[in-house]
Amino acid sequence: MQTVLFLLIIFCVVGFLIRKYIKDMQLLETVTPRDRGEWSERKTVLKLLKMGIDHRAIFHDCYIRKSNGSYTQVDLVVATSQGLLAFEIKDYSGWIFGHYRQKYWTQVLAYGREKHRFYNPIMQNNGHIQAIRDNLSSNPGIPIYSIIVFFGSCTLKDVTIASDNDFLIYPCEIQRTVRGIMSRSAVNFGNKYEIMNVLSKAVANGTNQSILSSQMMSALRAGKKRPQYSYFNPFAMFRRFGRF
């Protein structure tokens, strides 16, 4: 009898999880395909939808045309009455150190034995925001908030931000941060249709293979100019084989 009851409970739990997954995927697909972008980006979209953000105001995986004719990829943009929310989604483990004025930040792993450097995400997102502004000639003064979300098991250490419009947060803080911004005074838009058209086109650009290939090559060229390792750890290769 106990075995039957246990199996019944397991069956109910599995059924509940399956139904929840299907419901989440249906909700996600009101904004973006379930296989587009990174998992952490789609998770952020779901959090926004579940807090009541209209699916028509969420734009995922945007390819914005820059003034020089190339494209920059923005993980997520949300249109609100208070302005635009530009999300940059990161997925890191370890400790993260950085200052908004430093070009590179540091990721520390293995209790300090391994360090990596990566481009300052505040500067990165500021570049995205500038590209968005360059396309909004009828909305020159619209506020655009920079929200950088660190997924993964990382811990932000001694990290500083630049202004009240910059947010450096963990996933559990997404809804609180967005609600805080939306509690601010509404702004006057020059042309709401321009915003929707630019962002809708940016999402559509993500299905254009020539744009994707061009943006990928630009990202690879930029990556070659950026140092990845702060120093070489001679024991790292042995640890990979399970000796340490």
Burial classification of residue 85, based on how many CB atoms lie within 10 Å of its CB (0-12 exposed, 13-18 middle, 19 or more buried): buried
φ/ψ (deg, to 5) at 20: -65, -40
Between 112 and 211, name the one with better pLDDT: 211
Torsion of CA 115, 118, 122, 127, to 10 degrees: 170
Q: Is residue 214 part of a domain?
A: yes
pLDDT at residue number 242:
39
Q: Residue 201 class from Cβ within 10 Å (0-12 exposed, 13-18 middle, 19+ buried)?
A: middle
pLDDT at site 230: 44
Looking at per-residue confidence, does 153 or 11 come out higher?
A: 153
Report the number of distinct structural domains present in the chain. Answer: 2
For the ranges 21-35, 110-124, 165-179, the lowest mean pLDDT is seen at 110-124
Does the pLDDT of residue 159 top 90, yes or no?
no
Banded pLDDT at 113 (limits 50, 70, 90)? confident
- CA–CA distance, 244 with 162 (Å, rounded to integer): 40
Position 237 in a domain = no
Provide the residue range defining the domain that includes 8. 1-30
Q: What are phi and psi of 50, to 5 degrees?
A: -70, -20
pLDDT value at residue 88: 97
Are 81 and 23 in a shared domain? no
Question: What value does the mean pLDDT of the chain take?
Answer: 87
Same domain, 224 and 190: yes
Same-domain pairing of 185 and 116: yes
- Per residue in 190-231, pLDDT (tens digit) is 899 999 999 999 999 999 888 888 777 776 665 554 444 444
200 within some domain: yes
55 burial level (CB within 10 Å; 0-12, 13-18, 19+): middle
Same domain for 50 and 157?
yes
Query: Is 105 a domain residue?
Result: yes
Strand 114-119 relative to strand 104-109, pairing: antiparallel
Task: Identify the H or E element spanning 115.
Answer: strand 114-119
Query: By C-alpha distance, which of 227, 222, 220, 90 is closest to 159?
Result: 90
**Residue 144 shares a structural domain with residue 172:** yes
Residues 177 and 198 occupy one common structural domain: yes
Is 192 contained in some domain?
A: yes
- The answer on 119 and 25 residing in a single domain is no
Same-domain pairing of 109 and 220: yes
- pLDDT tens digits, one per residue of 86-95: 999 999 999 9
pTM: predicted TM-score of the whole model, two decimal places: 0.85
**Whether residues 181 and 223 fall in one domain:** yes
Distances (CA, A) of 115 to 1, 13, 125, 201, 225: 55, 42, 23, 39, 18
pLDDT above 60 (res 8): yes
129-141, pLDDT tens digit by residue? Answer: 999 999 999 998 8
**How far is 17 from 86, CA to CA, in rounded Å?**
31
**Domain check: are 5 and 95 in the same one?**
no
In a domain, residue 244? The reply is no
